[in-house]
Amino acid sequence: MKQSAESVAALYPPANPPHSKIDPAIPEYLQKVYWWAYLHPNAVRLFEREWLVNLILWGNFSRLRDLALAELGDTIDQRVLQVACVYGDFTQRIAARLGAQGRLDVVDVAPIQIDNLRRKLASDDRIRLHRQDSSALHFADASFDSTLLFFLLHEQPEAVRRATLAEAIRVTRPGGKIVIVDYHSPKRSNPLRYVMKGILKALEPFACDLWQKEIASYLPSSFKPESLVKSTCFGDLYQEIVIIR
Ligand SMILES: C[S@@+](CC[C@H](N)C(=O)[O-])C[C@H]1O[C@@H](n2cnc3c(N)ncnc32)[C@H](O)[C@@H]1O
């Protein structure tokens, strides 16, 4: 029997109590829906290929990665948080821009993803990797100047997505930036609309939420951003949101 995104989401509430310092459990949605992409050793072996990541994004990986990086500037002399590992060279590109004062923290809930990222990075005192759940971060309020969420929210059930956004806001300083890159509802004239609908429905049960609702609608209702700018590309299939807290 087919389940609606809402009923599937209700099955997967945030797994980890807010701000607990113990190692987080692997959320149920990752174990049940995404084990083949992120948790199985063969997944890392298969997907850790630049061309494949690029193919999954219809040739747009570099473009979308560079959109996010452009928000940080050519030299990064600020404290940056990357929420969740990304296949390909996303993190290495941030690392390459770090200035003497720059700091990069990356969190992921899956140990295999942290280990994989560690292998991709040269040892660097300015970079720290942490095992944390995006919906219950361990960092103090206002710890970062910029926080990045690259194709994470569409993978999360609604309750987790809301908690992840609330945490991203909490750990970013007032006046700092939250940069989100993710799926968006494509234009009706975009021929990939129908192909992507099938792919996402079959493989990514929470992703169609982002076709139906604005990401802004998942922000805490009490949050009043200094600014929120959304742009879309590739026939609206992808969006970038830049929030100044
Ligand atoms: C950023 S998302 C998708 C990125 C993109 N599809 C790619 O090319 O890698 C994938 C990562 O999110 C992580 N992840 C998913 N849910 C998480 C959570 N609640 N907390 C922290 N990391 C999470 C997964 O372990 C995985 O490493």
CA 209 to chain centre: 15
What are the percentages of helix, strand and coil residues in the chain, rounded to 5? 40, 20, 40
Q: Is residue 16 part of a domain?
A: no
Count of domains observed in the chain: 1
Tell me how far apart the alpha carbons of residues 59 and 51 are, in angstroms, rounded to a whole number: 8
Beta strands in 18-126 (DSSP E): 79-83, 103-108
Q: Is residue 156 part of a domain?
A: yes
pLDDT confidence band for 18 (50 / 70 / 90): low
pLDDT confidence band for 16 (50 / 70 / 90): low
- Average the pLDDT over 211-215 and give the result: 96
Tell me how far apart the alpha carbons of residues 104 and 80 are, in angstroms, rounded to a whole number: 5
Confidence check: pLDDT of 244 > 50 = yes
Confidence check: pLDDT of 1 > 50 = no
Rg (CA), the chain: 17
Ligand 1 geometric centre to CA of 187 (Å): 26
* Residue 153 DSSP label: G
Q: Is the CB of 133 under 6 A from ligand 1?
A: yes
Neighbours of 125 (CB within 10 A): 6
Confidence check: pLDDT of 178 > 60 = yes
**What is the tens place of the pLDDT at every residue in 69-86?**
999 999 999 999 999 999
Q: Is residue 9 part of a domain?
A: no
Q: Is the CB of 38 under 6 A from ligand 1?
A: yes
Q: Is the CB of 145 under 6 A from ligand 1?
A: no
pLDDT confidence band for 13 (50 / 70 / 90): low
The structure tokens listed for 94 are: 């941030």
Tell me how far apart the alpha carbons of residues 35 and 104 are, in angstroms, rounded to a whole number: 27
Alpha carbons within 13 angstroms on the beta-carbon side of residue 225 total 21
- Average the pLDDT over 124-146 and give the result: 97
Q: Is residue 76 part of a domain?
A: yes
Nearest to 157 by CA among 214, 232, 99, 207: 207
The predicted model scores a pTM of 0.92
- pLDDT the model gives residue 19: 57
Q: Is residue 52 part of a domain?
A: yes
The structure tokens listed for 23 are: 């190692």
For position 206, which CATH number holds?
Answer: 3.40.50.150
Ligand 1 geometric centre to CA of 152 (Å): 5
> What percent of the chain stands above pLDDT 90?
89
Q: Is residue 2 part of a domain?
A: no
Quote the domain boundaries for residue 100: 29-244
**What is the tens place of the pLDDT at every residue in 148-174?**
999 999 999 999 999 999 999 999 999
* Residue 140 DSSP label: P
Q: Is residue 176 part of a domain?
A: yes
Q: Is residue 201 part of a domain?
A: yes
